[in-house]
Amino acid sequence: MTSNAERLYNLIANDSNKKQSLFLMALNNPKSALDKICEIGRELDIQVTKEEVIEYISTIDDEATKLWLIKARGGL
């Protein structure tokens, strides 16, 4: 079963503009990036919480994603 966080992550990952924008935002303010991810979810009618996003991202085996997650956790 696919979680809402996974569905949303995949949609964002396939949209290069959203992905780049969120990555740049995360570098400067990880908390804002999490807020933006949740906002994008609401716009797409895919409800997620920050905790669900962090939990899902922690399962991804991608070095860049893991680095972002470490930064995001430090910024919370």
The pLDDT assigned to 30 comes to 79
CA angle (60, 5, 34) in 5-degree steps: 90
d(CA 2, CA 11) in angstroms, rounded, equals 13
The DSSP result for the chain, as a single string, is ---HHHHHHHHHHT-HHHHHHHHHHHHH-HHHHHHHHHHHHHHTT----HHHHHHHHTT---HHHHHHHHHHHHH-
| Domain-wise residue ranges, the chain | 4-75
Over residues 60-67, the mean pLDDT reads: 74
pTM over 0.85: no
